[in-house]
Amino acid sequence: MADADPASGGDDPDGDAPDAAAAAADSDATGASGSAGAVIVPVEPSSTLRSTVAHVAEAAAADGASAIHLVEIASWRNGDPESEERAAAAERVLERAAAWTTADLDDSEAPAAPDVEVVTAVLGADDYLFGADDYVRVLAEYAEANDADRVVLDPEYTPVGNTTLLQPLEFALSNTPLSVETAPVDRPTRRERFRTEATTGRFVALFGLSLAFYLLLGNPTYWFDAVTGVATAAIVSITLSRVSLDSNPAIPRTPMRILRGLIYVPVLLFEILKANLVVARVILDPRMPIEPTMNRMRVIVGSGLPLMTLANSITLTPGTLTVRARDSDLYVHSLVPWAREGLFDGSLERWTRFIYYGRRSARLPTPRERDDVAILQGPDATEELPIAAAAGGVVDASDAADGIDAADASDGSISSDDASDEVTDR
């Protein structure tokens, strides 16, 4: 029989003191982990969301966490076009994630599993959120209010659509007291396809548009043009119906958008003509009174086709050129102050909202009224030109002399390859 362990504080005839001490240490460790607080999981639909939720539930039950907070950070603002629909979609995602989490906790054999509370919330819907810093700010405020000390990230977390925000979000979270972990789950090996679900509505809509455009260029009364038009429209619809439209056409929404778009065409032509005259006068002036600047403007038009419409409308108008359209930010180069002021007055933004959302949305405040504008260059600059380094952060704005616009509206951090693509032709 071995001598009693001096650390046991006395004799132990059964030889169980070391085991008891180890059990006590394990108990203390579990208690410390359980006192760490709740865990926050930012949620967005992804191929790894289910696995991430399962990992968090298992870890929270084992550690004795007080609660799991499933949160969706709003990429919209209350009152924006289609904000109610997007908020409802977010709630559905949160409900599904909460159901998964609850089921995983119920299946867990950990003693603390029944005591883990599952909470859902939508964050940041009352304010504009642009980039990782804003996302981290609302996460940190929510964590402080709910005694949370950990954030677990889905490896496929993309809260702003196509833009992968995970790395800059981790970088920004490292500057907070929160501990950060990326869920150790396997990503799918199948590549995501850049196409939507095939539907009859999208096929018919694209077929009709293609046929109408073909016959507009040809002679609809000539049988050859009619036959070739049908064949061409069918080929276009079969090959492009999954990538050309991001939502199903609906009545009366789609016809009304087309009608409002036709109203917008002469307005855009008038703006182009007016801008041509101003730019021509400036060019013919021997003094060449130009003041080229880069400008930032946050817009309320939604994403996808509405944002593309506004960005291209600005580019078609002489004197302004959309350099980058990212999320709700447009980076626009202006040639003269008149073009910049017209941009900030938001005429084209209001018309774009009119096309896609109707007259009520067209009455929303302009970028200047919302104070969502900034001049990034020149003596009147209100912000520094955000030339982003590959490792994140902002470098000296004097590098702007090279004409490289690497502004990133979502997080201020892009790769050097992306920056090289943004060379602005002065």
Q: What are phi and psi of 345, to 5 degrees?
A: -70, -20
Cite the residue boundaries of each domain of the chain with CATH code 3.40.50.620.
33-182
How does pLDDT run across 169-183, given as a tens digit for each residue?
Answer: 777 777 888 888 888
Q: What is the pLDDT of residue 290?
A: 87
CATH topology of domain 33-182: Rossmann fold (3.40.50)
Q: How many angstroms separate the CA atoms of 71 and 58, rounded?
A: 18
Are the C-beta atoms of residues 400 and 385 closer than 8 Å to each other? yes
**CA-wise closest residue to 141 among 168, 178, 167, 172:** 178
Are the C-beta atoms of residues 298 and 368 closer than 8 Å to each other? no
CB-based contacts of 9, cutoff 8 Å, min separation 6: none
Q: What is the pLDDT of residue 27?
A: 41
Q: Quick one: 359 exposed, middle or buried, by C-beta within 10 A (0-12, 13-18, 19+)?
A: exposed
Count the Cβ atoms, other than its own, within 10 Å of residue 375.
19
Are the C-beta atoms of residues 39 and 152 closer than 8 Å to each other? yes
pLDDT < 70: residue spans in the chain: 1-36, 128, 130-131, 159-168, 187-198, 246-247, 327, 386-426
Q: What is the pLDDT of residue 4?
A: 41
Q: How many angstroms separate the CA atoms of 165 and 158, rounded?
A: 6
How does pLDDT run across 105-116, given as a tens digit for each residue?
Answer: 887 888 878 888
Q: What are phi and psi of 381, to 5 degrees?
A: -60, 135
Count the Cβ atoms, other than its own, within 10 Å of residue 132.
25
Q: What is the pLDDT of residue 289?
A: 84
Q: How many angstroms separate the CA atoms of 62 and 39, rounded?
A: 13
CB-based contacts of 145, cutoff 8 Å, min separation 6: none
The pair of three-digit structure tokens given for residue 198, joined into one six-digit string: 């095939």
Q: What is the pLDDT of residue 400?
A: 38
